[in-house]
Structures are given as C-alpha cells and as structure tokens.
Amino acid sequence: MKQRKVPLDEALGMVIPHDLTKIVRGEHKGPAFRKGHVIKPEDIPELQKMGKAHIFVLELEHGEIHEDDAGLRIAQAAAGKNVLTGRPKESRVNLTSAIRGLLKVNVAALLALNELEDLVFSCLSNYKPVEAGELLAATKVVPLVVPEQTVLDAEILCQTMGKIIEVVPYQALKAGIVVTGGEVYHKRIKDTFGPVLREKLQSYGASVFPVAYAPDDAGVIAEQIDLLAGQGAELILVSGGMSVDPDDVTPQGIRLSGAKVEKYGAPVLPGAMFLLAYKEEIPIIGMPACGMYFRITVLDLILPRLFAGEKLRRADIIALAHGGLCWNCSECRYPRCSFGQGGILRG
C-alpha cells in the first residue's frame, strides 16, 4: 500500500479513501466522512476540528485489498443457510438471520478463521434461538489494507471446513402431552401444567394432540405414551412425577413404554430432574414440576434443538452444565442472557 500525504488546504476535490471517524465523548462515535466523499470547502473546518492537517491518498499495490472489500468477502464466505450479509462500515460487516430458528456455529472453523492474521470474526453462542433480522455475527479486518491472500485463505477455509454460521428453521412437529398425577387424573385439582407445555410447544409451530392424563401408575403412563406414538406423535412430553418420592413413577413409565433413556438428571437449574429418552426415533421428555413454576427452565434449552431436527445424546445434556444456571431475574430477558449460552464447548 502506498499513501500520499496531501496538505488539507490542497485537498479540495480529492476523494477520501476510507471513513474518517469523529468521536465526541459520551455523545457520538462514527464516520464524519465516508469513504468516497469528495472534499468541499465547507469540509475543511470540520476536518481541522477533527485534528486533520493532511489527507492521505491511498494507492493499493498489486495483491492488496481494501478493508471494506475484505470484510465483505469474508462475511460472504462465512455465511451459511438463512444468514444475510450487510454492507461494510469501517470494514465491519454484520451478519443477520433471515428467519426464526436455531443458530448453529461451526466452532472448529470459527476458531481456525480467527487464527488468520489481521481478521476477526465474532458471533453469538452456539445453539442460540434467534429471530428473523437478529444480529448473529460480525467480521472485520484490522488494518486499512490487507494482502488479498489473507482473504483467499479465509475463503478456502470456509470451503474446506464449512460455513461458520447458519440458522436452522424449526420443524412443525406433531406433539403429545401426558400429564401425570392422581390429583389431576381424578380431577381433584385443575390441570395447570398441560396448558404451559402446550403453549411452549405451539410457540415452535407444533400441532398438539389433546392432553392425555395418567395416575401415578407406571403402566398407565406407558400406555398413554404408546397411544400418542401410535397416533403419530413426533415428540412427547410427560409432566410431573420426576422426583425421588416413591409415588413418582414417571421415569419408570417412560421405560415401560420401550423408550431408551439417554439421561435422567440434567446439570441445569431449574430442571435438575429432567429426563430425555427415545422411543425409536421419538423424543420422550420427562419434565419435572419446575416447568410449571418457572418461566424458563431446561426445557427451553432442549426444545429449540429438537424442533431444529437434532437428536440429542447424553453428552449433549451433560454439556448444558456450562451456562446451565439461571439467575431467575425479576425481569426475564431469556434468550438475551447467559442461561444456556455455553454452546462453544458443544460445537
């Protein structure tokens, strides 16, 4: 890169080769003059206030690339399915979600990309639920000009190791709910758990079968699971009866249905007594009573991944320990908080 230094009073009519940033403490930080701006007489006093006595004319040499062009190419190379790239701003390019869904990060490729000289790529945590239009990541190069080989290396890396980020849409699953407990089954109290679970399932676009009820009887619980599976349920939630009380037989009922338990007990609070099993390919969730009392629980970390088509295993549940503690804030901000955001370990 070659730069030619020109006194400010001789710069009229010249083109600014890069953004010139103005900072006013506590008020403003941003470009006062954009790349490509033609300097006019009225610009001179403002440039002087910014401390400019000269303007540098940028002359790229062979094999060099400007920061804006570099940032855009890296963003385009890294963007996977349902990810949109924005316009460069001081070489930074934002990547946003085109849809509502689950963010998936290619962690190995992300780290390898950031090993390259003179570029950075920063993103949200792996497995984060996102909305359409939400900011997912941003990338930029550090210097004003980088060797084009750096950009080529980034593009090749994304071709060989895979895209850095993508957003997976939620599938419209058919879901069933089994509410357990003699007090509800015999209508001694009103069911308040089923409606909570139905609302959560429907928020992902699920069609939900009528709620099934079972007493504290493992055999009946298994029968209800079998009936829902036979009706075509692709996901089944079984509520209550998950503690160590002898009357709590939901885990036994799930096993009697022929489902194979992946993990009973999750390192997530609230949600420690959570159970995940599979009846052939159908996920069966044993959901403890915390799901009725707390707005956000382990279920909110599991459902997005199941609706995105993932098959979770024991190791996935164990990995939730990193970020698995909810602060129970008075004003819940989930998913814009730390709960469940230890996803880089699970990439």
Using alpha carbons, list the distances in angstroms from residue 66 to 22, 263, 294: 21, 51, 51
Q: Which of the residue ranges 18-32, 141-155, 265-279, 299-313 would you say has the lowest mean pLDDT? A: 18-32
Instruction: Dump pLDDT digits (tens) for 174-212.
Output: 999 999 999 999 999 999 999 999 999 999 999 999 999
Instruction: Answer with the residue of higher pLDDT: 165 or 37.
Output: 165
Q: What percent of the chain has pLDDT over 90?
A: 72
Domain boundaries for CATH 3.90.105.10 within the chain = 2-59
Contacts of 331 (CB under 8 A, 6+ apart): none
Distance from C-alpha of 128 to C-alpha of 236, rounded to nearest angstrom: 23
- The pLDDT score that the predictor gives to residue 241 is 85
pLDDT band with cut points at 50, 70 and 90 for residue 343:
low
β-sheet bridge partners, residue 263: 276
> What was the pLDDT predicted at 3?
66
Over the stretch 44-101, which tens digit does the pLDDT of each residue have? 898 888 888 888 766 677 888 888 889 999 999 999 999 999 999 877 999 999 999 9
Whole-prediction pTM value?
Answer: 0.85
Average pLDDT over residues 231-248: 88
Write out pLDDT tens, residues 154-177.
999 999 999 999 999 999 999 999
Mean pLDDT of the chain: 91
Highest CATH level, class, for 2-59: alpha beta
Mean pLDDT calculated for residue range 126-132: 96
Nearest to 255 by CA among 211, 224, 218: 218
64-168: CATH topology: Aldehyde Oxidoreductase; domain 3 (3.90.1170)
| CATH 3.40.980.10 domain span(s) along the chain | 174-346
Give residue 57's pLDDT. 67
Integer Cα distance of 122 and 158 in angstroms: 15
**Token output for 6:** 């020109």
- Rounded to an integer, the average pLDDT of 339-344 is 75
In this structure, whether the domain defined by 174-346 belongs to CATH 3.40.980.10 is answered with yes
pLDDT tens string 242-252: 877 766 899 99
With CA atoms as reference, report the closest residue to 108 among 161, 165, 151, 150.
161
What is the rounded average pLDDT of the residues 302-311? 98
For residues 1 and 298, which has the higher predicted lDDT (pLDDT)?
298
